[in-house]
C-alpha cells in the first residue's frame, strides 16, 4: 500500500479523498472527505510526527533518530506547528533553556550569549 499523499504532486495544492474501501468486505464509499489538520502535513512532516509520538514528545529522542542537532529537530517541529495552522510561540515567551544549552554545546552561540539568553 502506498503512503497517503496530502498535496498534489503537480501543483502543490491540497488533495482530498474521494473514495474509501473496506479491505475485508470491499464495501466502497464515494464522496468528498477532508483529511483533517494532519492532511496539511507533507510526507516528511508526517514522518516527523510519527517519530515524535514514538519518542513520547521527547525532541532529543527525535533528533537522535534523525541524526540531526536538537535545534534542527526543534525547527522541524516549528514547521509542523505552522503547517497545522497554529501561530508561532508568543514572542514574550521565556526562552527554552534546553535549546539555549544545546546551541551552546553545538558552538552556535558563545558562553556570553548563552548567559544573556538564560537571564532574559
Whole-angstrom Cα Rg for the chain = 19
What does the alpha-carbon distance between residue 79 and residue 48 come to, in Å, rounded to a whole number? 10
113 part of a folded domain: yes
Residue 116 included in any domain: yes
Question: At a CB cut-off of 8 Å and minimum separation 6, what does 99 contact?
Answer: 70, 71, 74
Is residue 112 in a domain?
A: yes
Domain-embedded: residue 80: no
pLDDT at 77: 93
When divided into structural domains, the chain yields a total of 1
Evaluate whether residue 99 is within a structural domain: yes
Overall pTM > 0.85: no
- Helix ranges (H only) for the chain are 43-54, 59-66, 70-83, 97-105, 111-119
The tens-digit pLDDT sequence of the chain (120 residues) is 777 777 788 988 878 889 999 999 999 999 998 878 887 888 889 999 999 999 999 999 999 999 999 999 998 999 899 888 887 655 545 567 888 888 888 888 888 888 888 887
* Cell numbers at 14, concatenated: 491540497
Q: Is residue 29 part of a domain?
A: no
As given in the structure block, the three cell numbers for residue 54 are: 514514538
Does any domain span residue 7? no
The pLDDT value recorded for residue 94 is 57
Judge whether 109 lies within some domain. yes
CA angle 110, 68, 96 (to 5 degrees): 50
Give the domain range for residue 97. Answer: 90-120
Amino acid at each position: 500500500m502506498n503512503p497517503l499523499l496530502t498535496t498534489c504532486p503537480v501543483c502543490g495544492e491540497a488533495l482530498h479523498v474521494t473514495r474509501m474501501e473496506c479491505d475485508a468486505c470491499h464495501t466502497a464509499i464515494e464522496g468528498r472527505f477532508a483529511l483533517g489538520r494532519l492532511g496539511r502535513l507533507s510526507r516528511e512532516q508526517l514522518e516527523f510526527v510519527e517519530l515524535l509520538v514514538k519518542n513520547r514528545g521527547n525532541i532529543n529522542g527525535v533528533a537522535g533518530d534523525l541524526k540531526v542537532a536538537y535545534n534542527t529537530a526543534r525547527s522541524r517541529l516549528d514547521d509542523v506547528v505552522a503547517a497545522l495552522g497554529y501561530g508561532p510561540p508568543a514572542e514574550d515567551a521565556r526562552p527554552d533553556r534546553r535549546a539555549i544549552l544545546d546551541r551552546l554545546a553545538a558552538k552556535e552561540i558563545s558562553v556570553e550569549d548563552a548567559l544573556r539568553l538564560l537571564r532574559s
